[in-house]
Amino acid sequence: MKKVISLILASLLALALTACGAKETPQETQNTPAPAPAETVIPPETPIPSEMPTPAETPATTVESAAAEVENTAEGGVLVAYFSATGTTKGVAERLASAVGGDLYEIVPAEPYSDADLNWNDKNSRSTKEQDDKSARPGIASEALDLSGYDTIYVGYPIWWGEEPRIMDTFMESYDFPGKTVIPFCTSSSSGIGSSGRNMEKLTSGATWLDGKRFGSSVSGDELRAWADGLQ
């Protein structure tokens, strides 16, 4: 009988404990912290403004570069092309190029002139025969020119028998001069520029030719600069 009572009391105790556990469960749920929100993904850090070109800087640089290119194109270039058999015209051409800020170009004969070739007292010398033949066109050994970057071209030469050496005619016929301003200058011991400039002008088309001038071997750079500045 005692065993039966003990079993009944044990069953009642178990039911009581189960009921208490059921009542406490909601309380635990209320006290449990809410789950943390999902972690926000932060994008990679962008460079600070001082490390990046600002929109205002890029256009300004582009505009300045374009303006500089236009200015350089508008200024045009100056060329001093010359033929010198003895070095006299070369010296004047070099001083002229320095005075006007121009590029130098030497017209080098394919067949160099010897002293005998230049003997004007010899009717059979090479230079005498060339000058007697207006159709003579001595060859040029210099590298070909690109005249597209030049607006003003000075052409220098010695005076032979009152005219330009025939190699200058070769040079004038070898290039196109439309839109260029061409200015002849020559060297001699006494003879003037004569008809040499007009002779060469007839071999070109579309160029503006200015009156040229004869210079002695001792002309200074300042004198050449003053002459160039006074051209119209």
pLDDT in tens, 96-125: 999 999 999 999 999 999 999 999 999 999
Token output for 112: 């160099």
Q: How far apart are alpha carbons 227 and 215 in whole angstroms? A: 11
Q: How high is the mean pLDDT of the chain?
A: 78
Domains in the chain, start-ordered, CATH in brackets? 74-229 (3.40.50.360)
Residues 208-224, mean pLDDT to the nearest whole number: 97
Q: Would you state the pLDDT for residue 116?
A: 97
pTM over 0.75: no
Alpha carbon separation from 85 to 27, 114, 187 (Å, rounded):
118, 9, 11
Token output for 52: 């990046």
Q: How confident is the model at residue 1 (pLDDT cuts 50, 70, 90)?
A: very low
- Residue closest to 155 by CA, chosen among 92, 73, 231: 92
